[in-house]
Amino acid sequence: MTYIYKLMFMLTLVMGTMITISSKTWLGTWMGLELNLLSFIPIISMKNNPYSSESSIKYFIIQAIASSILLMTIIILMMKSKLISESFMMNKSIYMIMNSTMCLKLGSAPFHFWFPEIIEGMNWMNSMILMTWQKIAPMIIMMYTLKSNSFLYLTILMSTFIGSIGGLNQTSLRKILAFSSINHMGWMFSSMSISEMIWLMYFSIYSLISISIILMFNQMKMFLLKQMFLMYKSNKMTNFLMSMNLLSLGGLPPFLGFLPKWMVIQNLSFNMFILTMFMIMMTLITLFFYIRIIYSNILLKNNELMFFPINNNFKLNNKTNFFSFISIFGLILYTLIMNFM
């Protein structure tokens, strides 16, 4: 029964996102977001787990506030001919409020305060949904309503800065990936300003690499940085795949994660050189705490009590190996395909 109702809410979760991105009216867009929200709450909630209940309540409150502000701006837009002037600046301000609500729903800076705390109370599979699928609808709405370049640049600067600095002092793997997601949202906003195709490519590659890493963490039941000491003893191949996936997520060449960042840098470096350099410097900081994870499970030895027993026969399943192969060797495959074309 638990599996059936989870599957039912997953279907309505996907349906809500599809309604939002395909709706022709603002009211339909808002209804799709609400359906998505009300479907995700039961998926988060788990029996006998107070942390998941706390996360579901926090997530509901934050999303309800954002939806209320969004509905208010939609009502103002629908009644603008009667209530407010038709000036461009007034419409620009309304769209800025709408984009702020989308940033709140995404958990991007400066509205990031809830995102790491809620992920900390979830399991890995729910965290994967929140970091990948739940970003689609707000980002597409933001792409259609973005009118102010200054608002976009401010969001990019704050997201890349907070996402890189915030993950430095974290010991929880879920919080590290959450701050990494905030940093990647800054890159996604910059790709959004270039073209929809580059944004779609960036989001697809980010989701692929994140799914690969989260499936590994979920299969090995790892939640803290201290548990990474044990991976090298359990399986060296698993350790290698995890290390390469983390470097790919950080955007280090020649892995697949470097491809979308390379495209963003090429398109932004001519007009916004300072912004591009700032984003690159912040990405180097994120690479530091990825390398810290790799360093801890390869070079260091720890004899303290661990959180789960050593399994020397541990092997990743085929699904995890497939995602890992694509995220590691995807850039090489892409280069070969483009050369033959």
pLDDT tens digits, 101-110: 999 999 998 8
Mean pLDDT of 323-327: 69
Q: List all residues 6 or more positions away from 254 whose beta carbon is below 8 Å from its beta carbon.
A: 331, 332
Is residue 123's pLDDT more than 70?
yes
Selection from 245, 183, 168 nearest residue 214 by Cα: 245
Mean pLDDT of the chain: 82
**Which residue would you say has higher pLDDT here, 146 or 16?**
16
Q: pLDDT tens for residues 83-99?
A: 544 444 456 778 888 88
Residue 60: what pLDDT? Answer: 94
Report the pLDDT averaged over residues 294-313.
54
Question: Which burial class, exposed, middle or buried, applies to 299 when counting CB atoms under 10 A from its CB (0-12, 13-18, 19+)?
Answer: exposed
pLDDT band at 304 (very low <50, low <70, confident <90, very high): very low
Is there a contact between 32 and 19 (Cβ–Cβ < 8 Å)?
yes
Range in 59-63, 253-257, 286-290 the model is least confident about? 253-257
On whether the CB atoms of residues 298 and 232 are closer than 8 A, the answer is: yes
**What does the chain come to in residues?**
341
Amino acid at 50: P
Residues of the chain with pLDDT > 90: what percent? Answer: 38
Burial 227-258 (b: 16+ CB within 10 A, else e): bbbbbbebbeebbbbbbbbbbbbbbbeebbbb
Which pLDDT value is given to residue 312? 47
pLDDT digit string, tens, across residues 239-262: 778 888 888 898 888 788 888 998
* Prediction pTM value: 0.88
**Quick one: pLDDT band at residue 79, thresholds 50, 70, 90?**
confident
Q: Which position has the higher pLDDT, 79 or 248?
A: 248
Closest by alpha carbon to 204, among 338, 317, 291, 323?
Answer: 323
The set of residues, in sequence order, having a beta carbon less than 8 Å from that of 45 and lying 6+ positions away, is 52, 53, 56
pLDDT at 174 over 60: yes
Cα 75 from Cα 131, distance rounded (Å): 30
Residue 154 tokens read as: 């401010």
pLDDT in tens, 133-160: 999 999 999 888 876 678 888 999 999 9
User: 76 pLDDT band (50/70/90 cuts)?
Assistant: confident
The verdict on whether omega for the bond into residue 42 sits within 30 degrees of 0, i.e. cis, is no
Q: Phi/psi of residue 224, each to 5°? A: -120, 155
- What span, in angstroms and rounded, lies between the C-alpha atoms of 325 and 132? 19
pLDDT of residue 332: 67
